[in-house]
Structure 1
Amino acid sequence: MNPQALPYGPAFGLGVLVPVTVLLLVPLVIAARRAGSAAGTFVVVALWLRYIAGAYHLYMFKPLAGGLSGNALLSIGVTAFGLLFVVRPANLALKWLLPVYALVVLALVSATLNGDPAGGVNMGVKYAYMTVIVIAVFQALRCDPEARFLSWAMVSFLPLLVFQALSLALHLPKGSEDGDGVVWVGGYNHEAAFSVAMMTGFLVGCFARSAPRVVRVAFLAATFIGILLAGYRTTILAFVPLALATLLSGLTLSVRRDQRGSMAVTAVVVGVLLVSVGVLLYSTKFADLGAFLSDPAGLIKSPRDFDYLERRVMSARPLIWSSYIYAWAEGTPLQHLFGFGPESWEGLFKVYPHNTLVGTLYELGWFGVAAMITLWTVMFVAAAASRGERFKLVAAHFAFFLLNMATMPFWQVEGLAMYGLLCGYTIYAARAAARPRPAPLRLRDFAPG
């Protein structure tokens, strides 16, 4: 381990990282070769690269060329490769992507109005990365309607699982964000990004229906436990709807059709019991959340009015949100509409906004908030219009919405990858549901004319 790690906690040194990475390359090569399409292979490799890079954060966070960090260069390279060699230009015109393009345009306009065009370009690259993942997943599903490539995409999450297991085996935790315990994130930089990446793995496992049942169940269990060990409250809370939907649908579909009604009732009872147990186990950890929800308006006030106890509620999130909201309110009328520019908070605030809508309001103004809500709404409606796995898709979108309420997955590449996967699957499912089903064949159709 490297004692010179980031202040968040210990990180693995090259003596561990390099040999483990070499070993992890073996299943990656196998998965990439069997993904079934160029788009599927791209998704598998792109995810793996992001998650393996996270383990090298001591090196990848440093500027390498042109003032850009290794992580930034990797994201740009993956995006450029996807646009040049994977994405079909016609798919860039998918109507579901219009809100994403609106966000990019607003980012560029806001950045220009505030005299920081570089900020607009940075945000544009992030959304381009997400768009490439969306379209790659969509194209892979068109070649592979059974989503077999997602079974191989589970390999992409082995770096997270393996390094977390190593941190457990070597007893190398890090202090939690709340300062009230330890978490296990395998030498990664912070539990927020790590837990979002692990939640993405669970999402992939949910829809990897062609994987052998034993492998799929084991993978879902491993990522479930991994999320709990990461200990990030926001992800644990947001994860609940997706986990319950997976449990309910999995138990219901595991029996004959005539038994599914009774099994659904059983699954609901099991789900309620599990939630009850979770509430008991995490009652202390989420106690301040209940205090906030009892009177949320009471904790959105001028930052100077927060007393000592209020500053500690939910890891100071109400204080953080209020700081951004009141700073935005002091802007000009034009800044109320277009914000202060992408990433303009850096250097002015100690921490990022910890809420996508609050962050978007500060950076892109009312227009940005409207575009973000439109994007979520469009994708949620598409999920509700799908067939087959509608229940899990709707639950996944709701889980992602909850995630955005106390952290910012749109600021993290891990979050963009998660939403890209979810939206790509959703768009394909919505298009498949919109296509008319073939009429059933009748005996007279075969009669001679």
Structure 2
Amino acid sequence: MTAQALPYGPSFGLAILLPVTAVLLVSLVIAARRAGSVAGAFVVVALWMRYTAGAYHLYMFKPLAGGLSGNALLSIGVTAFGLLFVVRPANLALKWLLPVYALILLALFSAALNGDAAGGINAAVKYAYMIVILVAVFQALRIDPEARFLSWAMVSFLPLLVFQMLSLALNLPKGSEDGDGLVWIGGYNHEAAFSVAMMTGFLVGCFAKSAPRWVRIAFLTATFIGVLLAGYRTTILAFAPLALAVFLSGLTMSVRRDQRAAMAVTAMVAGVLFVSVAALFYSEKFADLAAFLADPAGMIKPPRDFDLLERQVMSARPLIWSSYIYAWAEGTPIQHLFGLGPESWEGVFKVYPHNTLVATLYELGWSGIAAMVTLWTAMFAAAASARGERFKLLAAHFAFFLLNMATMPFWQVEGLALYGLLCGYTIHAARSAPRPLFRSRRLISDARVRPSF
């Protein structure tokens, strides 16, 4: 392992990375060929490339061309390829994408307003990446309503699982961000992005209905353990509703229809016990979260008013949030409305905002908050109207919402892939839901007076 050049996790050397990647590439080719559609194969390959690149962070984080890092060039390439060769233009007119387009326009406008065109372009490319993943998932499901391509998409997460297993086998952990232990992230740069990617794998396993039962259970178990081993508190907390929903629905649907009511009660009791045990096990790890929730308003105050103990609560997140909120408050009225520009925090603050709403307020102002909340609300509404898997979809969207409260999946490409995949599946499920048939009053009254023969 080598640790130079980066402040966080070390990386496996090329002597390990290259042969393991070559083996994983064989499974990728098989999965892509069997995905069933161009869109499905694109999703499989795009995810695999991103998660594999994460293991090469010592090389992919360095500028390669035009001042852009290897990861940035990869994201741009995937986005461009998807727009040119995969996404159908008609699907870009899906009504659910309107809030995303609003965020893109706001990012470009705020960047121009604050004299930082580069920040606006970077934000627009990230949202475009999410749109491409979202629409590709939607298109793949229209061709393959049983979501068979998601069974092959599980192959995309083998790099995460294999490299994490290697870090365990070789006893090569990383110190946690909180400084309270060791985490196992397979030579990746940081546990935040790694755990979000692993959570995406669990999400794929949730909806890979056509996979053999034992394969699906094994994959869900492996990604569940993977999230815990990554040790990132925000993801563990956000992950809980989705994991619980999968557990409850899995037990309930495993028996005959006439036994499901009784099994649902049993599953609820088991779920409560499971949550209670987890709460006891993680009580120390989340003790400061309880302290914050006891008086959240009292922890949002001028940064200079934080004492030494308050600066350590939740890995200093209340301090970070307050710093951004008070910096935004010192802006001009137009900046209150449209923000200080996307990614304008770089060079001003040492760390990113660690909360999507705080970041959006600082970068895009109240207009950005309105667009972001509209996006979340629209997707929650789509999940609520979905057919068949409404419970798991709602749990997944709630999990993503929690994730946004203490980290920034919209800033990470891994988080954008997670939300794009979730929203693509949600939109397809919502569009596939049966619609009630309405008859006009005139037709009904005609039927009442029309004689029958």
Give the TM bin, normalised by the shorter chain: over 0.9
Contact 1:288 1:313 in 2 (8 A): yes
Q: Secondary structure at the match of 2:64?
A: strand
**Alignment gaps of 5+ in structure 1:** 438-449
Cα distance, 1:6 vs. partner?
A: 2.2
For 1:8 and 1:262, how far apart are their aligned partners in 2? Answer: 49
Q: Secondary structure at the match of 2:324?
A: helix
- Aligned position for 1:124: 124
Q: Secondary structure at the match of 1:227?
A: helix
Cα distance, 1:8 vs. partner?
A: 1.5
Cα distance, 1:405 vs. partner?
A: 0.1
Contact 2:167 2:187 in 1 (8 A): yes
**Alignment gaps of 5+ in structure 2:** 438-453
Contact 2:174 2:185 in 1 (8 A): yes
- Aligned position for 1:29: 29
- Aligned position for 2:109: 109
For 1:70 and 1:340, how far apart are their aligned partners in 2? Answer: 27
Cα distance, 1:7 vs. partner?
A: 2.4
- Aligned position for 1:445: none
For 1:253 and 1:47, how far apart are their aligned partners in 2? Answer: 30
Cα distance, 1:118 vs. partner?
A: 1.1
Task: Tell me whether 1:51 sits opposite 2:51 in the alignment.
Answer: yes
- Aligned position for 1:440: none
Task: Tell me whether 1:369 sits opposite 2:345 in the alignment.
Answer: no
Task: Tell me whether 1:380 sits opposite 2:416 in the alignment.
Answer: no
For 1:97 and 1:2, how far apart are their aligned partners in 2? Answer: 42
For 1:135 and 1:106, how far apart are their aligned partners in 2? Answer: 21
Structural mapping, 1:245-394, within 5 Å: 245-394=245-394
Contact 1:10 1:173 in 2 (8 A): no
Contact 1:160 1:198 in 2 (8 A): yes
For 1:385 and 1:9, how far apart are their aligned partners in 2? Answer: 42
1:48-87, Cα deviation, whole Å (9 max, x unpaired): 0000000000000000000000000000000000000000
Contact 2:39 2:140 in 1 (8 A): yes
Cα distance, 1:140 vs. partner?
A: 0.2
1:71-121, Cα deviation, whole Å (9 max, x unpaired): 000000000000000000000000000000000000000000000111111
- Aligned position for 1:224: 224
For 1:406 and 1:186, how far apart are their aligned partners in 2? Answer: 23
Contact 2:164 2:185 in 1 (8 A): yes
Q: Secondary structure at the match of 2:345?
A: coil
Q: Secondary structure at the match of 1:399?
A: helix
Task: Tell me whether 1:71 sits opposite 2:71 in the alignment.
Answer: yes
Cα distance, 1:2 vs. partner?
A: 1.6
Contact 1:248 1:271 in 2 (8 A): yes
For 2:275 and 2:341, how far apart are their aligned partners in 1? Answer: 41
- Aligned position for 1:409: 409
Structure 1 residue runs of 4+, over 6 Å off? none
What TM-score do the two structures reach when normalised by structure 1? Answer: 0.97
- Aligned position for 1:200: 200
Q: Secondary structure at the match of 1:7?
A: coil
Structural mapping, 1:84-103, within 5 Å: 84-103=84-103
Contact 1:110 1:338 in 2 (8 A): yes
1:53 maps to amino acid: A
Task: Tell me whether 1:182 sits opposite 2:182 in the alignment.
Answer: yes
Cα distance, 1:3 vs. partner?
A: 3.7
For 2:29 and 2:327, how far apart are their aligned partners in 1? Answer: 49
Percent of matched pairs sharing the same residue: 84
- Aligned position for 2:134: 134
Q: CA RMSD in A?
A: 0.8
- Taking structure 1 as reference, are residues 258 and 294 closer, same or farther at Cα in structure 2, changes over 3 Å only? same
Cα distance, 1:434 vs. partner?
A: 4.7
2:433 maps to amino acid: A
For 1:143 and 1:400, how far apart are their aligned partners in 2? Answer: 27
1:212 maps to amino acid: P
Cα distance, 1:435 vs. partner?
A: 4.9
For 1:435 and 1:90, how far apart are their aligned partners in 2? Answer: 22
- Aligned position for 1:240: 240
For 1:310 and 1:157, how far apart are their aligned partners in 2? Answer: 38
Contact 2:354 2:405 in 1 (8 A): yes
For 1:13 and 1:403, how far apart are their aligned partners in 2? Answer: 32
Q: Secondary structure at the match of 2:11?
A: coil
For 2:259 and 2:120, how far apart are their aligned partners in 1? Answer: 55
Contact 1:42 1:136 in 2 (8 A): yes
For 1:436 and 1:323, how far apart are their aligned partners in 2? Answer: 50
Cα distance, 1:10 vs. partner?
A: 2.1
- Taking structure 1 as reference, are residues 11 and 5 closer, same or farther at Cα in structure 2, changes over 3 Å only? farther
For 2:434 and 2:307, how far apart are their aligned partners in 1? Answer: 54
For 2:5 and 2:165, how far apart are their aligned partners in 1? Answer: 19
2:301 maps to amino acid: K
For 1:271 and 1:14, how far apart are their aligned partners in 2? Answer: 44
1:140-195, Cα deviation, whole Å (9 max, x unpaired): 00000000000000000000000000000000000000001000000000000000
Cα distance, 1:368 vs. partner?
A: 0.2
For 1:402 and 1:255, how far apart are their aligned partners in 2? Answer: 31
Contact 1:111 1:119 in 2 (8 A): yes
Q: Secondary structure at the match of 1:187?
A: coil
Cα distance, 1:436 vs. partner?
A: 6.1
Contact 2:387 2:434 in 1 (8 A): no
Cα distance, 1:11 vs. partner?
A: 1.2
2:426 maps to amino acid: T
2:240 maps to amino acid: V
Q: Secondary structure at the match of 1:4?
A: coil
Q: Secondary structure at the match of 2:406?
A: coil
Q: Secondary structure at the match of 1:405?
A: helix
For 1:242 and 1:84, how far apart are their aligned partners in 2? Answer: 34
- Taking structure 1 as reference, are residues 77 and 147 closer, same or farther at Cα in structure 2, changes over 3 Å only? same
Cα distance, 1:220 vs. partner?
A: 0.2
For 1:357 and 1:133, how far apart are their aligned partners in 2? Answer: 23
1:178 maps to amino acid: D
1:265-323, Cα deviation, whole Å (9 max, x unpaired): 11111111111111111000000000000000000000000000000000000000000
1:429 maps to amino acid: A
1:146 maps to amino acid: E
- Equivalent pairs counted in the alignment come to 437
Contact 1:251 1:264 in 2 (8 A): yes
